[in-house]
Structure formats: C-alpha cells, structure tokens
Copies of this chain bind each other. A is one copy, B any other.
C-alpha cells in the first residue's frame, strides 16, 4: 500500500529548510474544493467557495465555522490560510507532507491533529488511507483532506437539520464529532477484514494453495499498516483529553473518553486479527505437511505392494534351464495365489498402521 509512496515523499524533502511548503503526496483530484459551514444554535449557512479569502470573514464572527479543504496540491491556498490564521510553518508542512504519523499538538492559540481516514477498497481488497489534518481554534475547525469524499456526511446532515447536540455546542464538540466519525469508520474496515479472515480461514482448511499463502501475506502487511495508523491514535486522544487548552470544555471530555474507548477497541481488534493471521500461517504450513504426508502414503502403498510382486514375477522370468517350478502343472496358479497372499498381507499391515 502506501508504504513505498510515503517513504518517497519524505525523501524529496530532505535538505530543504524546515517549513518549506511543497505538497508531497499523490495529486488525487483536479481542483481544490473549499466548503464553509457556519452555524450556531439558531443559524446555519453552508456554501462552496472558489476563493479561500471568502472564508476569512468568518474568523471574527462568534458563530462556529468549519472550513473543509479537499485537495492539497494548491500550496498557495494552504499558505494563505496559514498566514491568515497564523499557523506555524511546521504545521503547514505537516498538512502538506501526507503520510504523517497520527499526532496531536497543542500550540496555545490552536490545536493541530493529524490522523488517517481509512477506506476498504473492495476492488483491490486493500485498505486505502487518506491523511486528514484538523486545526481547532476558539470558534473554528479547519479540516484538510487529500481527496473529495469522506465520512463526515452525517455530521453535515446533523448540522443542517439541527439534529443531536452538535449545533448547541462549540467548535471543540465539532472536532470531537469529526474524530468520532473517523474512528467509528474504522469499525467498518475491521468488519471487512474480519470477513476476509473468516473466508480465508475456510478456504485454507478446504484447499490450501499458493494463492492463499499470498493472501495471508497481504493480510499480514495490511495489519502492519493498520497498526501503524491506529496505535498512535491512542496517544493522540488521551493527549487531547489531558490537554489544558482553553477551548476544549469540560463537558467535551466525556465524549473524548468515549472515542478513546473506541480506539482501544479498534486496537484490541487489530491485535486479535494479527494473532489470527499468524495462526492461519501455522495452519497453512501444517496443511501442506499433511498433504505431503498423504502423497507419500499413496506412493508408499503402491510401491510397497507392487515392488515385491514384480520381484516374484522377475524370479520366474529368469531363463535358467533347471527351474523345476516352471514345469509344474500348477506353478503359474501357485505364483498368482502367492501374489494375492502378499498383497493381502500388505493391505492388512497398512490397515493396522492406519494408512488406509
């Protein structure tokens, strides 16, 4: 998956002064899409803007503003936001250099969060990831995504329809809702992977082929990758919880604790899956051994029965002048019966050895 890409990305950067704004990552869509949602308990506005400056007027309003940017390749836009909201150059760098390790940073006047939005691609049967960066200020949340399409649609609906608590709460609750949506979406990935494991396990038992070995191996890599995305989340969220930032209210902590619990559950599941996948490899290896054993048994049974018989036939195929048996009336019959007796004895022996 994204492993190779991620490494390459960082490589390009080596040597540049820190805070140099270059987008490192795949360009995933044509043009950057900017959407603003501005709300408080009584009002709600949503629009798509083509000019980032159109968003800036919301900064001073007391309402909560959520600016969502899809597409990171236009460094200019990111830079303007950075200047207007006074972000540290390294924060901008982290937003642009996708492939970051999930992390949380409290920079006094705003909180910066990077994490991974995961998606199970049914076609390639792989987990795809997209970096999501969130900046939480006193009354705004700015989210940066690599591509259009996310797991936040239901949050937008709730905002539009004033459903749930979200319209009544501040920007910190919005940030929590976004985090929650991402972590909850992991359960879907887990389910897909769980099904994959289960179907693979069944195949494994019935028909262990090379293809399955490769699939187990892929699954293992998928797990390694998932682990890298999910483990740091634990630290991230407990960091958020402990942070003494002004704009995270006491009441939001209960919700963060809930996301934390879900994260632990995801981590537990990933670890269980890892254990299961290792178990599958053991099964695969012993299935192969078992197969080899079966093949060997057939060979041994056939060879063990016929080799002595062929020898007997060989004896009476010799051309010695003085071989009295050859002249006997029932020599041929006797030999045939002898062969039957040998065969019977062999079969009995195999039965006792439980090879048949």
Interface check A239, CB cutoff 8 A:
no
Given known contacts A11-B191, A224-B275, A295 and B18 CB-to-CB distance under 8 angstroms? no
Given known contacts A4-B191, A184-B13, A295 and B293 CB-to-CB distance under 8 angstroms? yes
Given known contacts A284-B286, A319-B323, A332-B320, A184 and B10 CB-to-CB distance under 8 angstroms? yes
Q: Mark A210-243, 1 if CB is under 8 A from B, else 0.
A: 1001100100110011001000000000000000
Within 8 A of B (CB), among A297-355: 297-300, 302-304, 306-311, 313-323, 325-332, 335, 353-355
Interface size on A, residues (CB 8 A): 119
Q: Which residue of B lies closest to A221 (CB)?
A: B276
Distance of A152 from chain B, by nearest CB (Å): 9
CB neighbours of A318 from chain B (8 A) = 313, 316-317, 319, 332, 335
Distance of A215 from chain B, by nearest CB (Å): 12
CB neighbours of A166 from chain B (8 A) = 17
Distance of A313 from chain B, by nearest CB (Å): 3
CB pair B205–A214 under 8 Å, yes or no, is yes
Complex Cα spacing A225 to B273, Å: 11
Q: Which secondary structure dominates where chain A touches chain B?
A: helix
Complex Cα spacing A284 to B283, Å: 11
Interface check A198, CB cutoff 8 A:
yes
Interface check A83, CB cutoff 8 A:
no
Stretch with Cβ within 8 A of B (4 or more), from A31-39, A57-65, A126-134, A254-262: A254-262
Q: Which residue of B lies closest to A8 (CB)?
A: B191
CB neighbours of A185 from chain B (8 A) = 14
CB pair B326–A331 under 8 Å, yes or no, is no
Interface check A45, CB cutoff 8 A:
no
CB neighbours of A214 from chain B (8 A) = 205
Interface check A86, CB cutoff 8 A:
no
Distance of A1 from chain B, by nearest CB (Å): 11
CB pair B295–A289 under 8 Å, yes or no, is no
Within 8 A of B (CB), among A14-30: 14-20
A314 in complex: contacting residue of B103, B269, B293, B313, CB < 8 Å: B313
Q: Which residue of B lies closest to A88 (CB)?
A: B254
Interface check A272, CB cutoff 8 A:
yes
CB pair B321–A184 under 8 Å, yes or no, is no
Interface check A181, CB cutoff 8 A:
yes
Complex Cα spacing A15 to B304, Å: 62
CB neighbours of A297 from chain B (8 A) = 295
Distance of A289 from chain B, by nearest CB (Å): 5
Interface check A268, CB cutoff 8 A:
yes
Stretch with Cβ within 8 A of B (4 or more), from A46-54, A67-75, A136-144, A157-165: A157-165
Given known contacts A10-B187, A14-B151, A17-B166, A257 and B210 CB-to-CB distance under 8 angstroms? no
CB neighbours of A306 from chain B (8 A) = 307-308, 310-311
Distance of A250 from chain B, by nearest CB (Å): 12
Distance of A161 from chain B, by nearest CB (Å): 11
Q: Which residue of B lies closest to A176 (CB)?
A: B18
Distance of A321 from chain B, by nearest CB (Å): 6
Q: Which residue of B lies closest to A299 (CB)?
A: B300
Q: A4-B195, A14-B188, A318-B332 are in contact. List 4 more A-B contacts (CB 8 A).
A: A90-B254, A225-B272, A295-B355, A311-B313
- Closest A-B pairs by Cβ, 8 of them: A17-B164, A313-B314, A15-B154, A14-B184, A316-B318, A10-B187, A299-B300, A7-B191
